[in-house]
Structure formats: C-alpha cells, structure tokens
Amino acid sequence: MNIDSLHHNIEEKISNFMAKSHQLLVSVPAGSSPVWDIKCSFHSLIVLLIVSLVAGVVYLTGESGRFLFEDNSNSNSNMGRGKENESSLSYSNKKCNLFSGRWAFDNKSYPLYKEKDCKFMSDQLACQKFGRKDLNYQHWRWQPHQCDIARFNATALLEKLKNKRLVFVGDSLNRGQWVSMVCLIDTAVQSSLKSMHYRYNASLIIFKVKDYNATIEFYWEPLLVESNSDDPVHHRLPERIVRANSIEKHGSRWTNADFIVFNSYLWWRRPHIKVLWSSFEKSDGIYKEVKMLRSYEMALKAWADWLEIHVNRTKTQLFFMSMSPVHERAEEWGKAKGENCYSEKELIQEEGYQGNGSDPKMMKIVESTMHELKHRGLNVHLLNITQLSEYRKDGHPSIYRKQWDFLTEEQIANPSSYADCIHWCLPGVPDVWNELLYAYFFNKY
C-alpha cells in the first residue's frame, strides 16, 4: 500500500470514528442526571483527545510520505556539487537504481587508494606516473539520486571471497577493472602473502591473497568465443575472425569460479566480422563475412548456452558489464572536429549525454540475452556502467601512459593523434565500477 492510499484509509477511519462519537454524544437519555452529564463530558474529552492524536498521525504520515517520495529533480542538475544534495534514502527501504545519478567532487574520501601504493599497477593505466599533473580525475565520487553506494571494504570482500575465485573475463577494459580491484585490495590489506601467477600463456592472470585462500583473476577473452585474437599479447591483426559457436576452450577455464564478471564490446566495433565454421587448425574451414550485430548475437547465444549447461547455479554468481564509452570525437561535446580527450580536465555536464562511441543496438542484444537466460532459470546481473562513464571525458590516459611503440615526429608534434581515449586512468572510473560490483556482491542497492 502506498502513502496516498494509507493516508486516505486513515482519514476515512477518522471520519467514521467521529461520526460514531457524535452519535454517542447526542443520544443522551431524556431526563438524564448530573452524573450522566459528568460522564458524558469526560467521554467527550477522551474522544477529542483520541481524534486529535489520530489526526496528528495522519499529518505526520503525509509529511513523511512527502519527504520520502518527493521528486529529487534538483539533484539531476547539480552534477559535481558535492555532498550537500545527497539523498537521505538508505538501502533498507527499497532497491535503488545505482546507475542513475551524478558525479560529486570529493577530495576528502577519494581516491580510494594512491597510484604509487599499488604494487600491481599497470603502466597502461598509471597516468600520474607518466606525467599527468592535473589529478582531479581521481577525486570524483558517483552519487546515485536515490541512495548512497556502500563504502568499499576490502576486508569484508576478502571474507566473502575466502576459499573462492573471482574472475574477470573479457578484454583490456575488463582487465583495467581487474587491476582496479587488485589495487583496492592490495593497498587496503596489510599482508605480505600476496602474489601474482600466470597460466595458459598469460591468458589467465591470478592475484592470490594466501591468508584468505582467495583469488582475483583475469582471463583474456575479448570476443567471448574463440577467435584469432585470443593471444593476450599478439592480437593486433588486420582482420578479426571468430568461431561463433565455440566457447569450450575458454569456458573450461572459468566455469567453476564463484563470481564471474564478463564484458565484450569494443572488439566487435567494425561493420563485419569474419565467422569460421571449423577449427583454426584445419585448412578446409568455411568462412563467411557476417554483419557485426548478427555475429555478436551468435557469440552471445553460444556464451549463454554454455552458461546454462555448465554453470553451477547454486554456487556461481554471474555479472555482465555494459559497454565502456570512448571519447574520441570532441565535436560530440561541443569542441572542434578532429579533437578528442587529449587535454580534457572537466566532466561533461549534459545529463543523459551519449556519444556515438556507444551502440544501443548492441546493448539491446545483451539485455535480450540476459532476459532469455532468466527465463531459463539463470540470472546474470547486468551492471549498466555506460551512462555514468559517458560523462568522464577527463578520465582517460590520453598521452599519459607507457607507449609500447616508438612515437613518430608527426605524433610528437600532434599529441592528440596518439591519445588513448578508450582505457581509464587509475585511480579513477573503474574503481567506481568496482564499488557498484561490491554493492551487488553484498546486495546493498
């Protein structure tokens, strides 16, 4: 029952109560004695007190309903103003949409760790180490409109992961989120019994905290199914080929994990994908150029079928990260054509902003696949990090990262030509993704 209907029912009961009271007071016996008059007056006082009390309850109920359920429209236009506009709702009242909110500048609580303190930081993401001077990108906190995100607690997470495996499966963006998770734990837990291990030609990287027998792992699988880009190092190839119905080699390496976080998006961003019906070892395979959306749908179907058959539903929790946006076209946020995220220091303030680097059609395929799996009795949590990340054109490494190839004179003269506007600096946006994942782990939303 909502507040309005509750309010109406209480008012109706008050009206009935007052009517009966009035009937009682006016139906005085003829020739009544003074004793009756005293009793009547006393009863009248009691009735008036009760009516006043109930009326007060109705008023307070109405007021609390107004405060609890009033529209927080003002917060929508206050992106980046800090804590003063935060909602007072907590997790105990109802489920909250963690992905609808604003960025609030918070240089007291953020970053959650310092870049130099993480022993396992990636040079691809260590923007401060490679010369970035403006560090405001580290101090933004995501603030949902209707609630607060649970503060990340590394010890609590390790207790949950005790004797368990958490595996991130996907491309370099998912690897960035994995590095973020490793840093969140590494910098918060004072233990020398932490180590990194590599398996399957470094396709699988395992961070282990021995005290808890917990592992946080990353498995390189950029297209979900088998492909010619499965080598974690040598995968820059002129054409992309997938075995759209083949996932066994990959799936066998993560299926028995306790928590699995998937992503797959950027590697599909081309008009056509070549699909192979055979193995890469055979020379008589059938190849066909397939439109990107159709090939993506085929891969997700093979992935979903594997999950349905092989995942232990009573043990394993599944998550899928939505597409991570890129900021490669500055004209999309009002800058000159030909520019990108290079030298960007501010957030995009336009609420609901969406660049052309995000493909809603692909996400509809993901949502449809999740919906179908749910009908088949398997729940995959979709974490929609796309919109909140769209605002963060300031959060990419740009030129502040290790350069794997030598820069030409032309590139040095035009820094935006080699700026990385795809990945994310750490500390930064992927830490927020992990805060949201943490909330899902503990059902705090």
Residues annotated as catalytic are: 172, 420, 423
Mind spelling out the 3-state secondary structure of the chain?
CCHHHHHHHHHHHHHHHHHHHHHHHHCCCCCCCHHHHHHHHHHHHHHHHHHHHHHHHHHHHHHHHHHHHCCCHHHHCCCCCCCCCCCCCCCCCCCCCCCCEEEEECCCCCCCCCHHHCCCCCCCCCCCCCCCCCCHHHCEEEEECCCCCCCCCHHHHHHHCCCCEEEEEECHHHHHHHHHHHHHHHCCCCCCCEEEEEECCCCEEEEEEHHHCEEEEEEECCCCCEECCCCCCCCCCCCCEEECCCCHHHHCCCCCCCEEEECCCHHHCCCEEEEEECCCCCCCCEEEEEEHHHHHHHHHHHHHHHHHHHCCCCCCEEEEECCCCCCCCHHHHCCCCCCCCCCCCCCCCCCCCCCCCCCHHHHHHHHHHHHHHHHCCCCEEEECCHHHHHCCCCCCCECCCCCCCCCCHHHHHCHHHHCECCCCCCCCHHHHHHHHHHHHHCCCC
